Chain A
Amino acid sequence: MTHELETADTAGKNLRRVAIDPVSRVEGHGKVTILLDENDKVHQVRLHIVEFRGFERFIQGRPYWEVPVMVQRLCGICPVSHHLAASKALDVVLGAERLTPAAEKLRRLMHYGQILQSHALHFFHLSSPDLLFGFDSEVGKRNIVGVAAQYPDIAKKGVLLRKYGQEVIRMTAGKRVHGTGAVPGGMNKALTRAERDALRADVYQMVAWSREAVAIIKQLHRQNPALYDGFGAFRSNFMSLVAPDGAMDLYHGALRARDADGKIIFDQVDYQRYDQVIAEEVKPWSYMKFPFLQQLGPEDGWYKVGPLARVQNCDSIPTPFAEAERRELAAHAGAGPLHATLGYHWARMIEMLFAAETIKDLLGDDDLESGDLLRGGERRKEGVGVIEAPRGTLFHHYRVEDNDLVTMANLIVSTTHNNQAMNTAVREVAKKYLDGRELTEGLLNHIEVAIRAFDPCLSCATHALGRMPLEVRLENHEGDLLDRLRKDAGGAVSRS
């Protein structure tokens, strides 16, 4: 595995730095810096992510039972993933090693509702404009409003799939926003018969629409295999949770990693020991850490997480339609794993189908209405929770003192795991589409498409009207700031 991006010596090479900001249609904003060498070839690419690390400090000093609700405020897109990962970590602190069947199935229902709504949002609203209209199409048309105008049927199904997922969340979490359904040790709310019947009434439609969504992305791959298999392609390791039998399980399991050829690096590692297999490297130019597999070291140990990793890391998917689609993707990939960046969309739709099928199965399970929802056990000072969030593996790690206050919190979010992979994808795209010293709109579009495939959550900070400050920096090879453009809250651009 090459590692040109981070090991290159940039000193004294007379490099020119060009920054592109913002990256639209990802959560929050990013800034891409392309560093050219003296021959105007792409030398280095950096995706700067302003990740907000302060949340870990925000949690410290709080009573542990507040945490599953508080952490939802990290993100407006996947609050349920944080809610459940925190709850799982605090299950361990409470000694609740196994939840009651009703509690676990209710949490699973909530989680798969989250997967369904998040994947529907990403595919139909954020990515389908690129895929349906083309990467070079007019920006004003390349958005969900454009899709709704030209493909109202597709847009409507996307909206209703997401709405359904949100309804699953609302009914299991208790509220549409800031749900309180999961608590350390289990759940505090069961599903009523009326809620269950309401969800069952529509679930077959959701399965059918999810199958159609997989068909759309497969058709796109088949129409242009050179683009879909080659765009931003690069080899890497990958990691995810898998069930004890190696099957896909997005709620619970153990850690498995494979190398770029698909060979298993480690398997069935207890996630309580995540810090023995994963380390986090800090780099001076980014607030985000760069995780890597300790066994392979920082140069070779970086990896992908998320749909493309999960669909190829598991041995099977336990629902029939999604399993058939997994096999088709595997056949398309051939002997080894598929490393195409746009393959993320295909895998994401397979997961959406898996989520819809799983919700259907869970809604038919009578355990959902069986009484006991809480368990406890021997209290511990520390716990790790993990979940496969829509964007990839999410770790929550807490220490709780005898006074019930949290003294340490460490979160590794999916976008952090994919940090190096995203940088590499953007570099591959920039190498191919940057011609000379001029940035073109086409290049920007392609870079955005590459980043968006990973569905990164760059920074869920504020979103208030007009509050989208953007900054473009021009630095020389010694890091001196040569120029800076700033777009203020009102949208005016100034130079300083």
Chain B
Amino acid sequence: MTAPTLIFGWGNPSRGDDALGPRFVEAVETLVQRHPEWGPVDCLTDFQLQVEHALDLQGRRRVLFVDASLSAAPPFTVETIVPARDGSFTSHAMSPQAILQVYCDLEDVSPPTACLLAIRGEDFELGQPLSTAARHHLESALAWTAGWLERNHADC
């Protein structure tokens, strides 16, 4: 059964703060178990955002995309995103906006409401754990997300 809320984080867990996306999703999965009042939430992770992830949006009411970011203001930024034919056409860096656009083109319907949570990362070296700063940013982002899940609003 597809949950109305999807939380999708991506990144390489072996590369320092690049792990913020997957680590965030792991933490949310734990929280969801303790908060049945939030209702059904699906959690997915991957290394990279890929075009077939458009299919993961089927049947959702709202989606939270989560990634590490070097340019986001610490501890994190959140924005509502809309479909866009942007320039992120490298398979390495397909944007969530482009994923939404592919969804529209494939399904011929409007996509679910989507938010992008960009958690500030500092150090992306191979084999390194999350930096101290990133751990703090992760905690802040989780606190915001708990509120978002509780409000049960689609918008961020």
Chain A residues with CB under 8 Å of chain B are 24-28, 52, 54-55, 58, 70, 73, 75-77, 79, 121, 125-126, 129, 139-140, 142-146, 148-149, 152, 155-156, 158-160, 162-163, 166, 176-178, 460-468, 489-491
Interface assignment of B133: CB less than 8 Å from any CB of chain A: no
Q: Which residue of A lies closest to B89 (CB)?
A: A143
Q: Which residue of B lies closest to A467 (CB)?
A: B70
Question: Which of B68, B92, B102 has a CB less than 8 Å from the CB of A465?
Answer: B68
Minimum C-beta distance from B24 to chain A (A): 13
A465 B55 Cβ-Cβ under 8 A: no
A145 in contact with B98 given A25-B89, A125-B51, A461-B124 (CB within 8 Å): yes
B residues in contact with A149, CB < 8 Å: 85, 105
Taken residue by residue from 1 to 29, chain B's Cβ proximity to chain A (1 for < 8 Å, 0 otherwise) reads as: 00000000011111111101000000000
Question: Which of B101, B124, B126 has a CB less than 8 Å from the CB of A464?
Answer: B124
Q: Which residue of B lies closest to A121 (CB)?
A: B91
Minimum C-beta distance from A487 to chain B (A): 12
Minimum C-beta distance from A255 to chain B (A): 30
What would be 30 A-B contacts, judged by CB atoms less than 8 Å apart? A25-B89, A54-B126, A54-B127, A55-B126, A76-B92, A121-B50, A129-B89, A143-B98, A144-B89, A144-B98, A145-B86, A145-B101, A148-B102, A148-B105, A155-B102, A156-B106, A159-B54, A162-B50, A162-B52, A163-B55, A177-B47, A462-B11, A462-B12, A462-B68, A463-B18, A464-B11, A464-B70, A464-B124, A466-B69, A489-B70
A residues in contact with B112, CB < 8 Å: none
A residues in contact with B16, CB < 8 Å: 462
Taken residue by residue from 75 to 100, chain B's Cβ proximity to chain A (1 for < 8 Å, 0 otherwise) reads as: 00000000001110111111000100
Interface assignment of B150: CB less than 8 Å from any CB of chain A: no
Q: Which residue of A lies closest to B67 (CB)?
A: A465
Interface assignment of B48: CB less than 8 Å from any CB of chain A: yes
Minimum C-beta distance from B112 to chain A (A): 17
Interface assignment of B31: CB less than 8 Å from any CB of chain A: no
Question: Which of B47, B124, B127 has a CB less than 8 Å from the CB of A58?
Answer: B127
A residues in contact with B69, CB < 8 Å: 464-467
Minimum C-beta distance from B91 to chain A (A): 6
B residues in contact with A158, CB < 8 Å: 51
Within 8 A of A (CB), among B40-72: 44-48, 50-52, 54-55, 67-72
Interface pairs A-B: 5 shortest CB-CB: A76-B47, A143-B89, A466-B71, A148-B105, A465-B69
A463 B93 Cβ-Cβ under 8 A: yes
Q: Give the complex CA separation of A25 and B94 in angstroms.
A: 10
Q: Give the most central of B18, B72, B93: most A CB within 10 Å.
A: B93
Q: Which residue of B lies closest to A58 (CB)?
A: B127
A residues in contact with B11, CB < 8 Å: 462-464
A25 in contact with B46 given A465-B71, A490-B71 (CB within 8 Å): no
A159 B91 Cβ-Cβ under 8 A: no
Q: Give the complex CA separation of A27 and B92 in angstroms.
A: 6
Q: Give the most central of B14, B44, B51, B106: most A CB within 10 Å.
A: B51
B residues in contact with A152, CB < 8 Å: 105-106
A residues in contact with B10, CB < 8 Å: 463
Interface assignment of B111: CB less than 8 Å from any CB of chain A: no
Q: Which residue of A lies closest to B84 (CB)?
A: A145
B18 A464 Cβ-Cβ under 8 A: yes
Q: Give the most central of A121, A140, A461, A462: most B CB within 10 Å.
A: A462
A residues in contact with B85, CB < 8 Å: 140, 143, 145-146, 149
Interface assignment of B118: CB less than 8 Å from any CB of chain A: yes
B87 A465 Cβ-Cβ under 8 A: no
Q: Give the complex CA separation of A365 and B55 in angstroms.
A: 30
B45 A177 Cβ-Cβ under 8 A: yes
Question: Which of A146, A159, A490 has a CB less than 8 Å from the CB of B55?
Answer: A159
Interface residues on B, range: 35 or more
A125 B91 Cβ-Cβ under 8 A: yes
Taken residue by residue from 99 to 129, chain B's Cβ proximity to chain A (1 for < 8 Å, 0 otherwise) reads as: 0011001100000000000100100101100
B106 A24 Cβ-Cβ under 8 A: no
Q: Which residue of B lies closest to A468 (CB)?
A: B93
B105 A466 Cβ-Cβ under 8 A: no
A465 B72 Cβ-Cβ under 8 A: yes
A24 B89 Cβ-Cβ under 8 A: yes
A159 B102 Cβ-Cβ under 8 A: yes
A144 B102 Cβ-Cβ under 8 A: yes
A162 B51 Cβ-Cβ under 8 A: yes
Q: Give the complex CA separation of A478 and B94 in angstroms.
A: 39
A463 B48 Cβ-Cβ under 8 A: yes
Q: Give the complex CA separation of A490 and B102 in angstroms.
A: 25
Q: Give the most central of A139, A144, A145: most B CB within 10 Å.
A: A145
B54 A466 Cβ-Cβ under 8 A: no
A139 in contact with B87 given A73-B12, A125-B51 (CB within 8 Å): yes
B residues in contact with A129, CB < 8 Å: 89
Q: Give the complex CA separation of A24 and B101 in angstroms.
A: 20
Q: Which residue of B lies closest to A126 (CB)?
A: B91
B residues in contact with A70, CB < 8 Å: 14
Q: Give the complex CA separation of A472 and B16 in angstroms.
A: 27
Q: Give the complex CA separation of A52 and B98 in angstroms.
A: 28
Q: Give the complex CA separation of A110 and B70 in angstroms.
A: 35
Q: Which residue of A lies closest to B71 (CB)?
A: A466
A159 B70 Cβ-Cβ under 8 A: no
Q: Which residue of B lies closest to A23 (CB)?
A: B90
Q: Give the complex CA separation of A24 and B85 in angstroms.
A: 16
B residues in contact with A73, CB < 8 Å: 12-15, 47
Minimum C-beta distance from A463 to chain B (A): 5
Question: Which of A142, A144, A462, A465 has a CB less than 8 Å from the CB of B51?
Answer: A144
Q: Which residue of B lies closest to A75 (CB)?
A: B47
B15 A462 Cβ-Cβ under 8 A: yes
Q: Which residue of A lies closest to B20 (CB)?
A: A464
A residues in contact with B14, CB < 8 Å: 58, 70, 73
Q: Give the complex CA separation of A460 and B91 in angstroms.
A: 11
B residues in contact with A464, CB < 8 Å: 11, 17-18, 20, 67-70, 121, 124
